[in-house]
């Protein structure tokens, strides 16, 4: 019988490996074909992110474009992480091009997608517009056609334009809250903003308007706001030079007026509230603010020698004001003791805060007149509860310079970047 030549074991293994390799390549090719759309989208998103840059890549002297095409304010819009329960992907912060915005607040024609939930009254957005790299160098303010014009005391700095998007606060879901927080560089700034930010993280349908007393917005604050994840707008509005020479300075006035200017240009309904970063807030307060028709008032704790500032209420009517310093004010209230409807603000186009230390609240409320006390809504159970406290942090001296020769190459070098 003729004997057959059997293949060597090595040759058999080699053929098996070739077969396995062909199957592996075929499987990869099949998967790539099935997911071609997802891969293309991923590559596009990466390219867009690299071209526009994250917050940390922005120069510290950039104030970017506004939220809606209703005015030409220069500002930085940064909105937080999408709601995971809504199944939307995270959105990196972008600079925004005012020219690309829809001209109407409720216009849904922009290239975005939104997901809504009946249990969580929030919206999320996905942008697809191509970014631009134009940088405007003129200080921008509100213009009727959405283009920058000459600056005023309430808007300073440059802005960088990038891409369009959809407003993250939807008034159809829940009356939006516009929380205005003036801030300035100091050792307590970051911890106090952190406390307030994580409080607002529990509030639905809110937009945090943070206005820095500086020529330009700072990357330190921008980075913190992005990490917290609350939808926010970052502005820069320095105190005019003539007031910096005063012994008692009108702090926060230019910041708040700048925020009012932004609200007039970008919001049509909702409630605005001046929430300083050195206060502590009960979450019940924000829900009670939702349906203010004109002006609401309520007590503030830890104010002056009386430890409380409040309207005096008898039989549901304001009969006066209780405050440690009346000073001839018609409305002796703390800044955190009242809120205003956005619609009512629009009906008083000249309303603003005066550069008069100690009379900022009184001056602003006077500028809202005609306003009768019987029209004022009383919150906090008819002004019988304290839902906000002036828990001002202890003042800290500036940190001494780090000895680089002694501590160079250690973690202390990075830690000092958090300090003032």
Q: Where are the domains of the chain?
A: 171-389
Report pLDDT for 201. Answer: 94
- Is 372 part of the annotated catalytic residue set? no
- Of the candidates 192, 361, 369, 377, the residue annotated as catalytic is 361
Q: Which of these ranges, 143-147, 243-247, 249-253, has the smallest mean pLDDT?
A: 143-147
Residue 278 assigned as binding residue: yes
Torsion of CA 135, 41, 173, 69, to 10 degrees: 20
Residues 66-86: tens digit of each pLDDT: 333 333 333 334 333 333 332
Report pLDDT for 125. Answer: 33
CATH of span 171-389: 3.90.550.10
pLDDT band at 39 (very low <50, low <70, confident <90, very high): low
Does the pLDDT of residue 133 top 60, yes or no? no
Does the pLDDT of residue 417 top 90, yes or no? no
From CA 217, how far away is CA 210, in angstroms rounded? 10
Report pLDDT for 294. Answer: 97
Report pLDDT for 420. Answer: 77
Rounded to the nearest integer, the mean pLDDT of the chain is 72
What are the respective helix, strand and coil percentages of the chain, to the nearest 5?
Answer: 30, 15, 55
The answer to whether 285 and 338 have CB atoms below 8 angstroms apart is no
Strands (E) located in 298-344: 300-301, 308-314, 317-322, 338-341
Residue written as token pair 């957005």: 125
DSSP-based three-state secondary structure for 178 = strand
Percent of the chain with pLDDT over 70: 63
The residues, ordered by sequence, that sit 6+ positions from 226 with a Cβ below 8 Å of its Cβ are: 55, 78, 80, 93
* Higher-confidence position of 140 and 350: 350
Q: Which of these ranges, 17-21, 54-58, 104-108, 196-200, has the smallest mean pLDDT?
A: 104-108
C-alpha distances out from residue 371 to 309, 328, 367, Å: 20, 18, 9
């Amino acid at each position: 019988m003729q004997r057959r030549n059997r293949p060597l074991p090595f040759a058999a293994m080699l053929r098996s490996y070739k077969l396995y390799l062909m199957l592996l390549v075929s499987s990869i090719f099949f998967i790539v074909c099935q997911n071609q759309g997802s891969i293309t989208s991923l590559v596009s998103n990466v390219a867009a992110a690299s071209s526009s840059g994250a917050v940390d890549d922005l120069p510290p002297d950039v104030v970017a474009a506004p939220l809606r095409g209703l005015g030409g304010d220069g500002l930085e819009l940064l909105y937080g992480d999408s709601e995971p329960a809504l199944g939307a992907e995270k959105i990196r912060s972008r600079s925004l091009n005012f020219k690309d915005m829809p001209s109407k607040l409720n216009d849904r024609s922009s290239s975005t997608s939104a997901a809504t939930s009946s249990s969580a009254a929030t919206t999320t957005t996905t942008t697809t517009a191509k970014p631009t790299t134009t940088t405007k160098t003129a200080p921008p303010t509100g213009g009727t056609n959405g283009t920058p014009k000459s600056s005023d005391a309430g808007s300073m700095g440059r802005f960088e334009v990038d891409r369009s998007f959809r407003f993250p606060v939807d008034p159809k879901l829940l009356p939006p809250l516009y929380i205005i927080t003036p801030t300035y560089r100091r050792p307590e700034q970051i911890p106090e903003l952190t406390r307030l930010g994580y409080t607002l993280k529990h509030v639905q349908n809110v937009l945090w308007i943070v206005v820095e007393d500086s020529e330009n917005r700072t990357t330190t604050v921008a980075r913190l706001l992005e990490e917290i994840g609350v939808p926010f707008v970052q502005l820069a509005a320095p105190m005019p030079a003539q007031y910096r020479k005063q012994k008692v300075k009108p702090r926060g006035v230019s910041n708040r007026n700048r925020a009012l200017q932004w609200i007039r240009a970008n919001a049509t309904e909702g409630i605005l509230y001046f929430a300083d970063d050195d206060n502590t807030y009960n979450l019940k307060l924000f829900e009670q603010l939702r349906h203010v028709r004109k002006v609401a008032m309520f007590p503030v704790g830890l104010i002056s020698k009386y430890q409380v500032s409040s309207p005096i209420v008898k039989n549901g009517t304001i009969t006066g004001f209780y405050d440690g310093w009346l000073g001839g004010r018609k409305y002796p209230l703390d800044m955190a003791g009242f809120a205003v409807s956005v619609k009512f603000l629009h009906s008083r186009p000249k309303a603003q805060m005066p550069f008069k230390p100690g009379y900022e609240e009184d001056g602003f409320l006077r500028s809202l007149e005609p306003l009768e006390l019987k029209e004022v809504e009383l919150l906090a159970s008819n002004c019988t509860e304290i839902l906000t406290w002036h828990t001002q942090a202890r003042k800290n001296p500036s940190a001494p310079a780090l000895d680089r020769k002694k501590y160079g190459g250690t973690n202390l070098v990075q830690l000092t970047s958090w300090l003032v």
